[in-house]
Amino acid sequence: MENERTFIVKFTIINDNIQTQMHNKNVTPQEAIGLLEMAKSQILENLAKNRKEVFSGSQRL
């Protein structure tokens, strides 16, 4: 994979404590903010559509 770019955000919630981990590879801070804004927009759109399942994810095989 040439020029692979990755931006991963992980939230772990245990007993009302929130831990946040971020990993990025070849992604500028401005691009990371844009990606977070896109994710926020998708979540808000799903809430507006009254979807029960707000988050969609992927699973590695």
What is the per-residue pLDDT across 8-43, written as a single tens digit (0 to 9) for each? 999 999 999 999 999 999 999 999 999 999 999 998
pLDDT in the model for residue 59? 56
Total tally of structural domains belonging to the chain: 1
Domain membership of residue 56 (yes or no) is: no
Largest CA distance in the chain: 41
Q: Which residues contact 43 (CB under 8 A, 6 or more apart)?
A: 54, 55
Domain membership of residue 34 (yes or no) is: yes
The answer on pLDDT for 60 being more than 60 is no
Global pTM value:
0.67
Domain membership of residue 38 (yes or no) is: yes
Domain membership of residue 57 (yes or no) is: no
Q: Which domain holds residue 39?
A: 6-48
Domain membership of residue 54 (yes or no) is: no
- Could you tell me the pLDDT band of residue 53, with boundaries at 50, 70 and 90? low
Domain membership of residue 26 (yes or no) is: yes
